[in-house]
Amino acid sequence: MSDSKTSTIVGIDLGTTNSLVAVVDEQGPRVLGDDSAQVMPSVVRIEPDGSFVVGQAAADRLVELPERTINSVKRLMGRSLSDAQSDLAYLGYEVVEGEHHTARVRVTTDAGPRVYSPQELSAAILRELRKRAETALGKPVEKAVVTVPAYFDDAQRQATRDAGRLAGIEVVRIVNEPTAAALAYGIGTRAGGQPQTIAVYDLGGGTFDISILRLVPAESEGDTDFFQVLSTAGDTHLGGDDVDHMLVKLFTAEIAQQLGLSEAQPMDSFDASTRRALVGFAQAVKHKLSEDDAAQIAIDLGNGNQYARTVTRDEFEGMIEAWVQRSLDACKRALRDARKANGNEPVEIDAVVMVGGSTRIPMVRQRVGEFFNTEPYTALDPDRVVALGAAMQASIISGARSGQGSSSLLVDVIPLSLGIETAGGAMAKLIMRNSSVPARAVERFSTSVDGQVNVKIHVVQGEREMVEDCRSLGVFDLRGIPPMPAGVPKLVVEFLVDANGVLSVSAIEERSGKRARIQIVPNHGLSRDEVDRIEQESFTHAREDMNRHRVVDLITNSKLDIKWISERFERYGDLLNPDEHATLEHALDELRGYVSRGEQDWTSVDPNAFYAAKDALDRASVRLQEIGITQSLRDDADEAGT
């Protein structure tokens, strides 16, 4: 094997439900594989001839072939049959006792019954991840950092190493999943930083874990950060699958009632394809309700019958209230145990990291934030955060990174400016590059279209003046604004970068109180070379960019001016003297011409002349504005007299 200082070491999240492989290279931390298939189900199907089918292809037939499709094998790793007894009811395949009382999987093949160790089956998953990494990187992958739950004991950790060896991978480090999640956010990557206490809330498809970590950062470059697990708690049978089952139970009960059956048909009375379809419908509804206030479902029942209904977010949240509370009860236990580990002193949580796909549910994020009295970190994909953290640890071990060495970005300053897209595709910078963190900026905006009820907030990063030349970080919608004329809504956008470099962007419409927010890690995927290139391009194109931005802003502001002045001109223009009327009409036509030419080709207009035309209209409309105000006061007085 090649030397660890030069070879690529990948990070692997070997999960109960899904597994991923990630790397840190010149493109930054990234999960490997096609965008549509980066998350691989931790499922192995054993064919009659003894061959393995791994990943999505195996998961697709889990309901149809439960006796030979092995899922959640992580529950059996390094455990005896008696230890795993509580899990067996949830597994569709046969588990038997092997050597030294260890749990084994027995499957019937063409050659007869065969027994497999959990390590063999996990090795099949790891081999598939290794193949995926080698395809993406174009070179052999021999070493990996692999994550495990914080509560894994020595036998379970050794079983994980053995699985790696069977897959042809040297497991150079076992990292606790909560620690990896913290690393992915850059928590603990600054030498000399302050100690922090972190809660990692991990709610996946089938399991829930809460870990309380104490981080003592390294005192100097090259030293090792110290992560201490103060406490762990959880529930090995609490996850998104439970939500799917709740929705399926709702659907089947209502279908049974619609068809005139005496009671809802249990899931196992349906054929495999129907069960799979119902679970698929439930998952689609769950995912939809993480984004919208309602989700619709329609199922063809045959014989001209159709089941259709709408599930609202309020109804959904009522269904899952007890489910969410179970996770918070575990959080209470973890905090109580952490206090004991802290010499019975209160434990103040500095950051909460969200892991697992089920943490996308808005109610989960809200309740966790309320419980810990801090806004949870949700900037990174919760399905990918552990793998990304493992890759960051792998990068440090391989020598590619050393704390915050030359190949990585300092998180105590903002490397590139942060802002939002405004009308016309311009970038409004709120926090400038090289600002110290933590940093905060607030800016006021409004709408540019009459009756606009939704506003898209596009968060961007870069030094150029137009969004198309900058780096898109994320988009979110501020919805439900009451319809008002353009320019009337009062939008307040706040950017807040905390000490760990996590950006929170919030927007509020002050008149209605509607709010929305997003979290982002701006440094992910950026190398120092890329930052230098972006800065240099901003210098090269500075004059061109400033002129274009100026023209775009003039177009936006001029269109609003033309709209308001034209409306008043139509209403009160007859009250102007002929010279005033002609001057204002000419100024309107002149500015409309600049707007039209600027929209077709911004380089065709002189920004200074454009500004002069706008200023001329402003001056020409002063008398009209005075008449409008006077007339409005008279109208109000007449109404009061009436």
Catalytic residue status for 177: yes
- Own/partner contacts of 341-350, CB < 8 Å, gap of 24 or more, are 341/230, 341/231, 342/214, 342/230, 347/197, 347/212, 347/230, 348/197, 349/197, 349/198, 349/199, 349/212, 349/373, 349/374, 350/196, 350/197, 350/198, 350/374
Instruction: Please name the amino acid found at residue 356.
Output: G
Return the percent helix, strand and coil in the chain, to nearest 5.
Answer: 40, 25, 30
Q: Judge whether 381 and 30 are in contact, CB under 8 Å.
A: no
HEC letters along 356-374: CHHHHCHHHHHHHHHHHCC
CA distances from 7 to 23, 134, 141, 164, 252 (A): 12, 13, 8, 17, 54
Question: How many CB atoms are located within 10 Å of the residue 625 CB?
Answer: 14
Question: How many CB atoms are located within 10 Å of the residue 280 CB?
Answer: 12
From the list 194, 141, 140, the residue with the least C-alpha distance to 11 is 141
Catalytic residue status for 202: yes
Catalytic residue status for 139: no
Name the active-site residue from 142, 202, 242, 545. 202
Name the active-site residue from 142, 162, 177, 465. 177
From the list 178, 175, 157, the residue with the least C-alpha distance to 9 is 175
Q: Judge whether 289 and 316 are in contact, CB under 8 Å.
A: yes
From the list 481, 485, 464, 450, the residue with the least C-alpha distance to 419 is 464
| 592: its two tokens | 């409309």
172 Cβ contact list (under 8 Å, min separation 6): 4, 9, 143, 144, 145, 394, 397
User: What values do phi and psi take at 526, rounded to 5?
Assistant: -105, 130
3-state DSSP assignment of residue 111 = coil
User: What values do phi and psi take at 230, rounded to 5?
Assistant: -75, -40
Q: Judge whether 151 and 39 are in contact, CB under 8 Å.
A: no
Query: Is the preceding omega at residue 140 within 30 degrees of 0, hence cis?
Result: no
Distance CA 501, CA 520 (A): 9
CA distances from 289 to 172, 200, 316 (A): 41, 24, 8
Q: Judge whether 374 and 351 are in contact, CB under 8 Å.
A: yes
Distance CA 271, CA 89 (A): 20
Q: What is the CA radius of gyration of the chain?
A: 30
Question: How many CB atoms are located within 10 Å of the residue 224 CB?
Answer: 10
Catalytic residue status for 64: no
Q: Which residue numbers are catalytic?
A: 13, 74, 177, 202
